[in-house]
Amino acid sequence: MMMAGLRFGHVAFKVSDPEKSIRWYGDAFGAQVIHRVKPEGERPELMFLEFARGQCVEFFTNGKQKTTQTPDSIGYMHFCLLVDDLGAALKHLATMNVRPDRGPFIGRAKQHIAFISDPDGNIIELMQIPPESPLYRA
């Protein structure tokens, strides 16, 4: 049974420098702050940055230690942003001195992929899905 209205909302991160992350996501992807809440007691400041209507990342402040990911870790690996033209996206990011950590390459579902990292090392997959991919949805 499906849940009515179910859709993806956001992914959340603790960041080391919120202003740097806001600038980076804005410059890289055009993301804009749509909501910001000041800290309250033990609760840190948080903010939502929107890429496209209803598609967001949420940042919490006061990140201090990076988590260590090993080849056999369980849990978060990356989040994916879909792009219309991977080559153009990588050219734009190169103007910011952002280079792929992996790729570009063709994935097992015939999608075009590259992986980059944000200022805190969070891994972002950039994916272009061509019509011949089984992931393609018109």
Task: Read off the amino acid at residue 105.
Answer: F
Q: How far apart are CA 75 and CA 6, in angstroms?
A: 22
Percent of the chain with pLDDT over 90: 75
pLDDT in tens, 4-43: 988 888 999 999 999 999 999 999 999 999 999 999 998 9
Beta carbons within 10 angstroms of residue 21's beta carbon: 23
For residues 89 and 107, give the distance between their C-alpha atoms in angstroms, rounded to a whole number: 17
Chain centroid to CA 69 = 17
Q: Which residues contact 93 (CB under 8 A, 6 or more apart)?
A: 28, 99, 116
Per-residue confidence (pLDDT) for residue 50, from 0 to 100: 96
Mean pLDDT of 49-62: 92
Query: Do 12 and 117 touch, CB atoms closer than 8 A?
Result: no
Residue 124 belongs to what H/E stretch?
Answer: strand 123-128
Gyration radius of the chain's alpha carbons: 16
The DSSP call for residue 55 is E
Query: In this structure, what DSSP letter does residue 35 have?
Result: E
Pairing of strands 102-106, 79-82: unpaired
Q: What is the pLDDT of residues 84-127, one digit of tens each?
A: 999 999 999 999 999 999 999 999 999 999 999 999 999 999 99
Residue 64 CB contacts under 8 Å (≥ 6 apart), including other chains: 16
Q: Residue 138: its pLDDT value, please?
A: 81
| pLDDT in the model for residue 73 | 79
pLDDT for position 5: 87
Predicted local confidence at residue 58, as pLDDT: 96
Tens of pLDDT, residue by residue over 57-78, are: 999 988 777 777 788 878 888 8
Determine the pLDDT at residue 31: 96
**Has residue 1 got a pLDDT over 80?**
no
